Structure 1
């Protein structure tokens, strides 16, 4: 697995690029989001060797973050259908939300874990990685 050689200076951009919160260089996931192994994470960063799981069961909290993302999707689709599709039957709401959430499940999984790691992992960016 090839790694980028320079750190991403912005924490927000590093989170969006799914990079290590310590060095902003190492990838958080081993495979692309559109593969059957989209959940596979290395145990630690391949660049700075910071652990990606600070404690056992750390990512259980990511389920709450993923639930929040899913709720946001539900609300957005609900408002869009209500105002632009003239309040269709309930089955249209349910089907549209279910299909949308299933379609973005790999992204929900990855970004909820990344937000959990960045927000609660106890690791902050080390600017020394910008010079390497």
Structure 2
């Protein structure tokens, strides 16, 4: 299966083979954050160095900022709601509910873009 880079990022696939998941468990389990040390399919190192995924915090921050700004725009400009408590609950609610998904997506984006792992197409 030949996935594009964007599809591999969104599906949390290994950047080298794009077949197996980076993570050991599902998104809404208690171990949602655990990453395989090596890809089960191609044996690619998914933890390039100690503390590598700390940089994914910046990606997560950007995603959360986009969510908050999007919600604020919809509520203030389109729906014309100016109540601060409504705005905060509408912005924080999706962030809390989507936290495991955002966490995993930010790690996947960071590994694909900064990890230095090239796609090895099957022959």
Whether the TM-score (by the shorter chain) exceeds 0.5 is yes
- List gaps (5 residues or longer) in structure 2: none
Which 4+ residue blocks in structure 1 deviate beyond 6 angstroms? none
Q: 1:55 aligns with which of 36, 40, 49?
A: 49
Q: Distance in 1 between matches of 2:70 and 2:22?
A: 28
3-state secondary structure, aligned to 1:127: coil
What is the match of residue 91 of structure 1? 85
TM-score (norm. length: structure 1): 0.88
Distance across 1 between alignment mates of 2:3 and 2:93? 36
Hey, what does 1:4 align to over in structure 2?
none
Cα deviation, residue 42, structure 1: 1.1
What RMSD, in angstroms, separates the aligned Cα atoms of the two structures? 1.1
- TM-score by structure 2 length? 0.94
Query: Which of 94, 97, 112 is the matching residue for 1:100?
Result: 94
- Structure 1: any 5+ residue segments left out of the alignment? 1-6
